[in-house]
Structure 1
Amino acid sequence: MGSVGAAAEEEHPQREGAVGTVPRFLCLHGFRTSGEIMRTQVTGKWPGDVTSRLDLVFADAPFPGLGKSEVDGIFPPPYYEWFQFDKGFMEYKNFDACLAYIEELMIEHGPIDGLMGFSQGAILSAALPGLQARGAALTRVPKVKCVVIIGGAKFQSPAVAEKAYATKIECPSLHFIGDADFLKQHGETLLESFVDPYVIRHPKGHTVPRIDDASMETMLNFLNKIENDLNDFVEDATTFEQEEVA
């Protein structure tokens, strides 16, 4: 099994920001990379004005990479993968074990508010809210409140897709779609499964992109949305607890 990335080894008490609780995201890296690689990709490219408003937990996937990594020579090993799949992306191996592992991470490092994923991690992050709503995953943790999808796509297997995308996913979502990404069309199709998705388009390929001036407004609008939603949730929970005591 994989391990939690270096940035997540410390205890993670819920952070307080200028506007209230800072949303905590479990970050799911790409195929045959690692939590540390994703940490470098995100914190090395995104400005402090963004990362300071996110509590990011980077974890390694549960299984060692079983083949060559596309980032070999760019980032050092070890490399991990969340599950294995066939060439048509229709059959998956160790998928249930992957879902159980993610749930354990959410318990260990909770409370987790949202999921952030790149590539294989993005496919998982986009599907998990729907799977959770159908009782097919994450049954022991609170509802996923928001997602960030970088270079994502849909699961192609009907056995998974019929549960993951049975109804439109209502939680706030931010999608990064690259003009030169080989998954671009799949990412466009994925948008149809979300209610009012936020979208940042960039000219690059299958990568975690930098956030430039043109995309910053969308990013900040998304951050404002999830912060307000989370603060409302905390206030409602506090009111409920006070009423129960009374």
Structure 2
Amino acid sequence: MLSRLETALCLGREVFDAELQDVTVLEVEKTRPILPVPRTLRILALHGFGQSGECLRIAMKTGQLGQMVLDSINADLLDQYENVEWLCPDAPLQLVPDTRYEDGSLDNVDIFAWWRVLDFDMQHEHLYKSLTYLAGYLKEHDPVDGIVGFSQGAAVAMMLAAMCDDTPQRRAALLAQCAPFSIPPPQAPFKFAVACCGFQNALQHYSGFYTPRITTPSLNIVAEFDTMVSAEQSVTLARACTESTMIHFRGTHHVPTARATLREMAAFIASSCARKAFMSPPTATYTLPFECMEAKEFSTTHRFETTKKPS
């Protein structure tokens, strides 16, 4: 027979053990990780002068590039992004095909532009209308994670990235430039921006988009043999960014499609989304092999989605 004292001690120990177990379970529940809800990685892609959203989707091989992005994303984020969606809108300004083509081959071809005149020094009539249109488009498809552009579309993409910086300094600069701009930013800053054969618009009119420098991490792809947008113009655009990586490829004025370039684009997008450290020094340059133009086919869909391969 246990004494009353021994019985009390045993009961006390059982109560203590039960309380300790409850606390342990509670702590485990508190520290259990909360997995993110899988969502779409959404990328806005802007075509060049005289093209269309579908033209860029095909030229950039977005299906292949999207799968490379998913394969490159850090393992910790595989449950966060289940697919890649490309938003490829047509510019609001529709162009008329060249009437010199008498065989009617361009009658059913839709070509668009973000502004009408290809001039690097003048103020553009339709530019702000295009930026207003894209601001509404971003609000409609929010959230958009990053932006990609080619040629004229690259110039617009970097101006849109500057808009989304939304710092007091940026707002003041946009209002103080020769062509004042006051449209509020349509969303939070992009995680990344990729400019292929891009350029700055006329600084005498649009300096507020580039000073202060654009803070969105950017990848600038420079064509060494480009006769429409010089390599120097693309480099100047890259230097208007605080965090910029430059890739030089031995090609002309076209979207680079070699696997080496696509892998670099995918790695940059993935690392930006994973918030990894950027290259040091902030501006890095290297060269990729020569790439040739390829024949492309056209269809009508403007949005393309890449889904993660099943494991």
Matches within 5 A, 1:162-201: 162-182=207-227, 183=229, 184-201=231-248
- The count of residues paired between Structure 1 and Structure 2 equals 208
SS in 1 for 2:136: helix
Superposition deviation, residue 137 in structure 1: 4.1
Structure 2 unaligned blocks of 5 or more: 1-37, 71-82, 172-181, 277-311
TM score, norm. by length of structure 2: 0.59
2:224 matched to 1:224?
no
Separation in structure 2 between the aligned mates of residue 91 and residue 67 of structure 1, nearest angstrom: 24
Decide which structure has the larger Cα Rg and report it: 2
**Identical columns (%):** 23
Deviations 1:137-161 (A, max 9, x none): 452322233211011000114221x
2:201 matched to 1:155?
yes
2:40 matched to 1:40?
no
The aligned amino acid for 1:194 is C
Deviations 1:214-238 (A, max 9, x none): x4563344123222139xxxxxxxx
2:97 matched to 1:79?
no
SS in 2 for 1:195: coil
Deviations 1:8-39 (A, max 9, x none): xxxxxxxxxxxx65531111100011001011
Cα distance, 1:37–1:78 mapped onto 2, change above 3 Å: same
RMSD between superposed Cα atoms in Å: 3.0
Separation in structure 1 between the aligned mates of residue 65 and residue 128 of structure 2, nearest angstrom: 36
Separation in structure 1 between the aligned mates of residue 126 and residue 137 of structure 2, nearest angstrom: 17
Q: Which structure would you say has the larger RCO, counting Cα contacts within 8 Å and 6 or more residues apart?
A: 2
The aligned amino acid for 1:60 is D
Superposition deviation, residue 85 in structure 1: 3.1
Partner of 2:284: none
Cα distance, 1:185–1:66 mapped onto 2, change above 3 Å: farther
The aligned amino acid for 1:164 is F
Structure 1 unaligned blocks of 5 or more: 1-19, 231-246
Separation in structure 2 between the aligned mates of residue 175 and residue 138 of structure 1, nearest angstrom: 26
Separation in structure 1 between the aligned mates of residue 148 and residue 46 of structure 2, nearest angstrom: 6
